[in-house]
Chain A
Amino acid sequence: MALEIDGQSIELDEEGYLVDLSAWTPEIAKALASGEDVELTDEHWDIINFLREYYEEYQIAPAVRVLTKAVGKRLGKDKGNSKYLYSLFPYGPGKQACKYAGLPKPTGCV
Chain B
Amino acid sequence: MADYDVPEISGEDGIVDVPNLQPDAMKSHGPWVSKPEFQEAMHFPTDFNMPEDVSDYGNTDTLVENWKERALDKMADLKGRYRSLQVFLDICVKCGACTDKCHYYLGSTDPKNMPVARQDLLRKVYRRYFTFAGKFFGKMGMPGFVGAAELDEDVVKDWYNYYHQCSQCRRCSVFCPYGIDTAEISMAAREILDHIGMGQKYCTEIMGKLNKIGNNLGLPEAALADTLEGLEEDIYDETGVDVKLPLDKKGSEILLITPSADFFAEPHVDGLMGYAKVFHELGLDWTLSSYASEGANFGMFIGSYENMRKVSLRIRKAAQDLGVKRIVFGECGHAWRVAYNFLNTLAGPFDFLDQNYPIPQHVLEITEPALAAGKLKIDKSKNDDKVLTFHDSCNIARGSRMGPKPGGQFDIPRNVIRAVCNNFVDMPADTIHDATFCCGGGGGILTDDLMDIRIKGAQPRMEALKHVTDKHQVTHMAAICAICKSQFTKVIPYYGFSMDMIVSVHQLVSNAIFLTGQLTEEEIEAKEAAEEAERIAAMEARKKAAEEKAAKEAAEKDTDKTKKDE
Q: Which residues of A contact B (CB under 8 A)?
A: 14-15, 57-60, 62-66, 69, 82, 90-92, 94-95, 104, 106-110
Asked if B1 and A108 make an inter-chain contact with CB atoms under 8 angstroms apart, the answer reads no
Q: Does B515 contact A (CB under 8 A)?
A: no
Asked if B230 and A60 make an inter-chain contact with CB atoms under 8 angstroms apart, the answer reads no
CA distance A29 to B548 in the complex (A): 47
One of A59, A65, A109 near B261 (C-beta < 8 A) = A109
Interface string of B229-249 (1 = CB under 8 A from A): 011001000000000000000
Asked if A60 and B265 make an inter-chain contact with CB atoms under 8 angstroms apart, the answer reads no
Asked if A59 and B265 make an inter-chain contact with CB atoms under 8 angstroms apart, the answer reads no
Q: Does B457 contact A (CB under 8 A)?
A: no
Asked if A63 and B220 make an inter-chain contact with CB atoms under 8 angstroms apart, the answer reads no
The residue on B at minimum CB distance from A90 is B1
Asked if A65 and B266 make an inter-chain contact with CB atoms under 8 angstroms apart, the answer reads yes
Chain B residues near A65 (CB-CB < 8 A): 227, 230-231, 234, 266, 269
Asked if A60 and B220 make an inter-chain contact with CB atoms under 8 angstroms apart, the answer reads yes
Stretch at the interface among B68-76, B209-217, B502-510: B209-217
Given A58-B223, A64-B264, the answer on whether A108 and B230 have CB atoms closer than 8 Å is: no
What would be 7 A-B contacts, judged by CB atoms less than 8 Å apart?
A: A64-B266, A65-B227, A66-B226, A107-B216, A108-B260, A109-B259, A109-B486
* Closest 4 pairs (CB-CB, A-B): A108-B216, A58-B223, A109-B482, A109-B261
Q: Does B185 contact A (CB under 8 A)?
A: no
Chain A residues near B231 (CB-CB < 8 A): 65
CA distance A95 to B201 in the complex (A): 17
Tell me how far the C-beta of A42 lies from the nearest C-beta in chain B, rounded to whole angstroms. 25
Chain B residues near A104 (CB-CB < 8 A): 218
Given A60-B219, A109-B259, the answer on whether A14 and B449 have CB atoms closer than 8 Å is: yes
Asked if A15 and B448 make an inter-chain contact with CB atoms under 8 angstroms apart, the answer reads yes
Asked if B264 and A107 make an inter-chain contact with CB atoms under 8 angstroms apart, the answer reads no
Chain B residues near A15 (CB-CB < 8 A): 32, 448-449
CA distance A13 to B267 in the complex (A): 29
One of B201, B206, B269 near A63 (C-beta < 8 A) = B269
Chain A residues near B222 (CB-CB < 8 A): 57-58
CA distance A92 to B266 in the complex (A): 11
Chain B residues near A94 (CB-CB < 8 A): 265
One of A82, A90, A106 near B217 (C-beta < 8 A) = A106
Given A14-B449, A107-B206, A109-B486, the answer on whether A58 and B226 have CB atoms closer than 8 Å is: yes
Q: Interface range on chain B: under 10, 10 to 19, 20 to 34, or 35 or more? A: 35 or more
Q: Is the interface of A mostly helix, strand, loop or mixed?
A: loop
Given A14-B449, A107-B209, the answer on whether A63 and B263 have CB atoms closer than 8 Å is: yes
Tell me how far the C-beta of B260 lies from the nearest C-beta in chain A, rounded to whole angstroms. 6
Chain B residues near A90 (CB-CB < 8 A): 1
The residue on B at minimum CB distance from A13 is B32
Q: Which of B223, B226, B260 has the most CB of A within 10 A?
A: B223
Asked if B1 and A63 make an inter-chain contact with CB atoms under 8 angstroms apart, the answer reads no
Q: Does B172 contact A (CB under 8 A)?
A: no
CA distance A66 to B226 in the complex (A): 9
Asked if B220 and A58 make an inter-chain contact with CB atoms under 8 angstroms apart, the answer reads yes
The residue on B at minimum CB distance from A82 is B266
Asked if A110 and B217 make an inter-chain contact with CB atoms under 8 angstroms apart, the answer reads yes
Q: Is the interface of B mostly helix, strand, loop or mixed?
A: helix
The residue on A at minimum CB distance from B215 is A108
Q: Does B285 contact A (CB under 8 A)?
A: no
Tell me how far the C-beta of A75 lies from the nearest C-beta in chain B, rounded to whole angstroms. 18
Tell me how far the C-beta of B227 lies from the nearest C-beta in chain A, rounded to whole angstroms. 5
Tell me how far the C-beta of B312 lies from the nearest C-beta in chain A, rounded to whole angstroms. 17
Q: Does B327 contact A (CB under 8 A)?
A: no
Tell me how far the C-beta of A76 lies from the nearest C-beta in chain B, rounded to whole angstroms. 14
Tell me how far the C-beta of B50 lies from the nearest C-beta in chain A, rounded to whole angstroms. 11
The residue on B at minimum CB distance from A64 is B266
Q: Does B490 contact A (CB under 8 A)?
A: yes
Q: Does B296 contact A (CB under 8 A)?
A: yes
Given A15-B449, A59-B223, the answer on whether A107 and B217 have CB atoms closer than 8 Å is: yes
Chain B residues near A91 (CB-CB < 8 A): 1-2
Extra contacts besides A64-B264, A107-B218 (7): CB < 8 Å: A64-B265, A66-B230, A69-B230, A90-B1, A106-B217, A107-B202, A107-B205
Chain A residues near B332 (CB-CB < 8 A): 109
CA distance A64 to B446 in the complex (A): 18
The residue on B at minimum CB distance from A14 is B32
CA distance A14 to B217 in the complex (A): 19
Asked if B227 and A63 make an inter-chain contact with CB atoms under 8 angstroms apart, the answer reads yes
The residue on B at minimum CB distance from A69 is B230
Tell me how far the C-beta of A72 lies from the nearest C-beta in chain B, rounded to whole angstroms. 11
Interface string of B268-285 (1 = CB under 8 A from A): 010000000000000000
Chain B residues near A107 (CB-CB < 8 A): 202, 205-206, 209, 216-218
Q: Does B483 contact A (CB under 8 A)?
A: yes
CA distance A104 to B205 in the complex (A): 12
Tell me how far the C-beta of A16 lies from the nearest C-beta in chain B, rounded to whole angstroms. 10
CA distance A60 to B220 in the complex (A): 8
Given A59-B220, A60-B220, A90-B1, the answer on whether A110 and B265 have CB atoms closer than 8 Å is: yes
Asked if A60 and B1 make an inter-chain contact with CB atoms under 8 angstroms apart, the answer reads no
Chain A residues near B1 (CB-CB < 8 A): 90-91
The residue on A at minimum CB distance from B500 is A82
CA distance A108 to B483 in the complex (A): 9
Chain B residues near A109 (CB-CB < 8 A): 216, 259-261, 265, 296, 332, 446, 482-483, 486
